[in-house]
Amino acid sequence: MSRIKNIVFDIGNVLMSWDPEWIYKTLFARDDYHEHPISSIVGGSVWKELDKGTIELGEAIEQLALENETYRSDIDLFIRQAPYYIKPMEDSVSLAIKYQEMGFQI
């Protein structure tokens, strides 16, 4: 019988909060997230490249803005500011720390 050695936690909405609609509403004080191009940018191909670190922030903004020129300043603001709105989910972080203290690899 094998013993569990490793525990994997997802980052988004497990260890760290991630709610792009809330971030959008907070930044722009508007309720039109689902009609705004930002809603389709989040999770899109350029976003995924940025998330993986295979594209630089400025290059990602430029690519996205070229596709949505009217919203260039919104896209720039959202992408640059979103990381400041991502916060640890304390219960999950505490659990990860507890498991690590018990000797599991996290």
Amino acid at site 90? E
Question: What integer pLDDT is reported at residue 2 of this predicted model?
Answer: 60
Amino acid at site 87? K
Q: Which pTM value belongs to this model?
A: 0.81
The pLDDT averaged over each successive group of 10 residues in the chain (106 residues) is 82 92 96 93 92 93 91 95 94 94 92
Q: DSSP class of residue 78?
A: H
Question: What integer pLDDT is reported at residue 67 of this predicted model?
Answer: 87
CB distance 42 to 80 below 8 Å = no
Phi, psi of 4 (to 5 degrees): -70, 130
